[in-house]
Amino acid sequence: MEVIPAIDLKGGKCVRLFQGRADRETVYYEDPLEVALMWEQKGASRLHLVDLDGAFQGSPKNKEVIKKIAAVLKIPIQMGGGIREEETVAELFSLGISKAIIGTAAVDNPDLVERLVNAYGERIMVGVDAQEGMVAVKGWVESSNLRALDLVKKMEQAGVKEVVYTDISRDGTLQGPNFDSTREIAENTEVKIIASGGVSSLEDIKIARQLEGVGISGIIVGQALYTGKFTLEEALKI
């Protein structure tokens, strides 16, 4: 199981939001490249990068920062946030991004996901962001009438092999991930599930590790690392 540190980009800086709300922002690093290199040096096997401006506005807005990070890091980078066009995916791959995470477009344009999977295979991931089991889109500001599990099943049929599942109500709160919902999705599909949202302690890492057998292949950690709840090295030992 992978422990994957997260960098959320907003205005060219490394930030964290509370429950995905743009008005509840904390800046942790002025230079995201600095923190990306730090996570790589501390043993991360890959980096989770999110363009928050892109998620809110519909297309990536921090391309210069993304380009700098991708040019220097040796570990793979998975990235989401405003990836809603085939041209955007091609551009990000040209910049050095390893995997593209499709979010809103997986709901609005599932045929796009299928075309991308046919073109790029396992380099295409899907991000499923949910609140009370229902999928949210467009930077989490709009709700859909689609259940998270149903979306994952649809994406599985489209050929997607890896999904990031986030419970929005937990994200940035340090309350622990919603392991019940994450487990339900993992048990009812064959895709690899990366848990995300609210990781608060090493106990959360241990729980995720215990669920590896049902299909949870990784866990994304953000605020807990930035606020010193535990270190990446400690999490990797687990």
C-beta separation of 102 from 112 below 8 A: yes
Q: Is 108 a catalytic residue?
A: no
Of the listed 51, 53, 129, 167, which one is catalytic? Answer: 129
DSSP-assigned letters across all residues of 34-92: HHHHHHHHTT-S-EEEEEHHHHHHSS---HHHHHHHHHH--S-EEEESS--SHHHHHHH
Q: Residue 75 is encoded by which pair of tokens?
A: 């570990």
Q: Residue 24 is encoded by which pair of tokens?
A: 């509840």
Which amino acid belongs to residue 62? N
Q: Is 31 a catalytic residue?
A: no
CA distance 56 to 236: 32
Of the listed 8, 51, 53, 167, which one is catalytic? Answer: 8
Strands 134-137 and 124-131: antiparallel
> Which of 147, 156, 215 lies closest to 186, judged by CA?
215
Q: To which residue do tokens 């994200």 refer?
A: 171
Catalytic residue list: 8, 129
